[in-house]
Amino acid sequence: MTIYSLSIEELKNIVKDMEVKYQNINLIDHVKSRLKSPKSIIKKMKKKKYNLNYKELIEKINDIAGIRIICPFQENVYIVRELLMQNPKIQVIEEKDYIQKPKKSGYASLHLIVEVPVETDMGKVYVKAEIQIRTMAMDFWASLEHELKYKNSNVTKQTSKKLLKAAKVMKKLDYEMSVLANETR
């Protein structure tokens, strides 16, 4: 787990450097990080029917370490994405754009699976991590949706429909806030 913790720190440093370099643009509101617990990793591996060994863990589980970059506006999400893609320390393995194509539930976010270099006693190793980039509105919705759906087993179809409706309102709010920001610049 230590190398995954170090990968989070490396990603946070990359983002801090980006924030300093582009501080006049106000690209990022805040950054969150998380490290999956061993119990959560095993649960995911069992759910996906992976063999419970280190090789499968490293090859198939991409989100043990992760950071979430929260941006004020949707256009900032794509600027941050571009800056991360151009960063020589990051190797992008996969990208999923749930902003352009939200999940059926209404979930919207941009995900990058990356490899980031981590210095160890045995030298440099590349560690997989997930970067989620989203707006404050998307983060608000996703946090509440997670609280309702994943920590509560009795979510009805009606509740799911209401969550989808709220996601559409969130998308409109993001758009309106971007329009307002552009009008004031």
Q: Given 56, 59, 130, 176, which residue is catalytic?
A: 130
Are 99 and 71 a contacting pair, CB within 8 Å?
no
> What is the C-alpha to C-alpha distance for residues 97 and 25, in angstroms, rounded to an integer?
23
Examine the residue annotation and report whether 183 is marked as an active-site residue of this protein. no
What is the DSSP pairing of strand 110-120 with strand 91-97?
antiparallel
- Catalytic residue IDs: 130
